Amino acid sequence: MFASERLPLVVRYTELLATEGVVRGLIGPREAPRLWERHVLNSAVLGEAVPDSVSVCDIGTGAGLPGLVLAIARPDLAVTLVEPLLRRTTFLDEVVAELGLGNVTVVRGRAEDLHGAATFDVVTARAVAPLERLLGWSMPLVAPSGATVAMKGRSIHDEIEESRSFLARWRCGEPEVFEVGAGLVDPPTTVVRVPWADPARIGWPLARDPKRRPGRRRTAKREVS
């Protein structure tokens, strides 16, 4: 899950979550004792669903879950963390700087602020919103050959059925539900993956605008939208 040379980084990040994260109201005090199993490891196993050496955008990242954990575990990924609240992006900037994570960009803003401006191979989210609303934010950021890969709960099959008209209207592919982290976290993490049905016929009108720029970024900085 974490290579030996990356383990000190995730340990330090977890320490910061348990201290500064609690003080700044990013993590509830009751969550601090179970950060590893409930948050950090739970986020790290999402890497099983992310291809090698791709660009990743984590929307509504909060204190960096799962995006920052993925960036620590997978230095091959170019990760953009999107979060609208200043106190959270300030914390993320400080963590990125302290840990020297050159594969991370922190963006203060909403997912909608990047619509029409950037695309990514993978867009991730953790407990952000019901599926239809989440896809309305995430799919405009998904490259033609990419996908939304979101952490979800047991209600995901109901959410998929409730989103059928949206999925058809936006020409999304059939959602795939699977588990990651078997034998590593208990219970395993439930994930839903939603690609485009046909990369040449994306349902969101601006998705094929040639002025859109790729989402792959390598410098660690905050961009204010």
Measured CA to CA, the distance from residue 65 to residue 43 in angstroms comes to: 6
Residue type, 132: E
SS3 label, residue 25 = coil
98 is in an annotated binding site: no
126 is in an annotated binding site: yes
112 is in an annotated binding site: yes
47 is in an annotated binding site: no
CB 204 within 8 A of CB 140: yes
How many angstroms from the chain centroid is the CA of residue 166?
A: 21
Closest CA to 83 of 52, 54, 104: 104
Measured CA to CA, the distance from residue 143 to residue 118 in angstroms comes to: 9
DSSP state of 196: B
**Pairing between β-strand 55-59 and β-strand 118-126 as defined by DSSP bridges:** parallel
207 is in an annotated binding site: no
Binding residues for S-adenosyl-L-methionine: 60, 65, 111-112, 126
Residue stretches of the annotated binding site? 60, 65, 111-112, 126
